[in-house]
Chain A
Amino acid sequence: MDDNYKTVLETVVDDVFTNMAFLFCDPIENNIDIHKYDGKAARMIFHGVVNGSMIAWLENSIIHEMTTNILGIDDDAKLSDAELEDALKELLNVLVGQFLVAAVGDKPIFDLSVPLILTSEKTNVDKLWNSSKSIKFMIDDRPLIINFHCERDNNDY
């Protein structure tokens, strides 16, 4: 991933999680055993002066905490898979929108796809974790991965 994009994306991820989900994420460089964690991923594609896509993979309890925070309900509220997936998609939607303006300015208009949940079969979390196009964070002891590529990059994570 382009270093400039990486810096911008790190700032955007921090801002969006803080302001939207009331969660604080810290970038990590060291390795963890990503297989220990279960999570969900969503993907969104954009076309414009830059073409590309973003994938957000979040450990499941982060998604739950984020959803209760956004809705302003009890921490231990029961939520359906549909509600959790909706929150993950909305988070990705906001990440992409904020990132594009931060990266290329507020003049261009982008054609954004609707965010889609990736099935677990299609999500190779190992590959996501090790991809050079991913930035990785921890919220407490729980991981999240943001994978980003644009038109000059290879699409394969």
Chain B
Amino acid sequence: MAYNILIIDDSFIVRSVLKKTLTLANVDVEDLFEADNGVEALEIMAGMSIDLIFTDINMPKMGGVELVQTMHKDSLIKDIPVVVISTEGSITRVNEMTKLGVQAYLRKPFTPEGIKKVVEDILGDKSCG
């Protein structure tokens, strides 16, 4: 099965590292979408069926917390698995995001191996070649 994956981060560098990791991990990607912030991400989700989301928290226009809260209220997108990748290490923040259905929370700096493991945990071992 091939997956539609959405990467949301205002840093081009972070998006590039995530894309390279998904490629090296042989994740079966159908389409890979990128957004600078939560507003752009919601626009993409309105038009495409997404299987997995990676999102930062601290972004302009709409950050990751507001994005996840908005998704939580929308029955069409609330079940999309979300992985938060953030520099924020507050356990209070992690708990808040987990309650909203976030499946994994990785702190920056992350390793590509850590990203691969999260993808396998969420999409299954066979998602990575």
Residues of A within 8 A of B (CB): 16, 19-20, 67, 70-72, 82-83, 86-87, 89-90, 93-94, 96-98, 100-101, 106-110, 112, 114
Contacts and interface: CB of A to CB of B under 8 A. Distances in A.
B109 A67 contact: no
Nearest to B61: A114
A40 to B, nearest CB: 14
B125 to A, nearest CB: 25
B109 A20 contact: yes
A109 B93 contact: yes
A114 B61 CA distance: 10
Contact of B108 (A93, A107, A108, A109): A93
Contacts of A101: 89-90
Nearest to A112: B58
20 contacts: A16-B109, A20-B108, A82-B12, A90-B11, A90-B13, A90-B108, A94-B87, A94-B108, A97-B86, A97-B89, A98-B87, A98-B107, A101-B90, A106-B90, A107-B90, A107-B92, A108-B92, A109-B93, A114-B59, A114-B60
Given A86-B11, A94-B109, A108 B90 contact: yes
B17 A112 contact: no
A44 B11 CA distance: 15
A112 B57 CA distance: 10
Contact of A97 (B13, B91, B108): B108
Nearest to B58: A112
Contacts of A19: 109
Which of B11, B16, B88, B93 neighbours the largest number of chain A CB atoms within 10 Å of its CB?
Answer: B88
A74 to B, nearest CB: 14
Contact of A110 (B16, B90, B107): B90
A57 to B, nearest CB: 19
Contacts of A93: 11, 58, 87, 108
Interface string B1-26: 00000000011111011001000000
Contacts of B108: 20, 90, 93-94, 97
